[in-house]
Structure 1
Amino acid sequence: MKPYSFPVASLEKPLFHHDLVRVGRQLANRTAAFPVIQGGMSSFAMRLTGDPFR
């Protein structure tokens, strides 16, 4: 007997993919403000160096 037959493996893959999508959505919701913070820090660094804005 094989440990996994084909139907069981084909059933497990969508569930695993669904878990990955769910975890990815949770991470995206947590880090939704990260691009805004990153953009603010980059503009602040440009202001410190004085290259584009002075």
Structure 2
Amino acid sequence: MAGFTKRCVVWTAISKREDVFKEIYVRWKAGEMKAVKAMGELGVKKTTFYKLVKENQNR
């Protein structure tokens, strides 16, 4: 259950920082930063980062 709670906290934090994600996403897409650095700045793991990227591309 702890893993589930942690994921919920991460998603909540990301939801609250959607503008921060968009800024980092734009910089990442422009080639200004590597994906690993973007993940580090957002504080998310690889799977979560690419899930967010996919969701952002569908918007």
Tell me the TM-score range normalised by the shorter chain: 0.3 to 0.5
Q: Which has more radius of gyration?
A: 1
> TM-score normalized by structure 2?
0.35
> TM-score normalized by structure 1?
0.38
Report which structure shows greater RCO (CA 8 Å, sep ≥6).
2
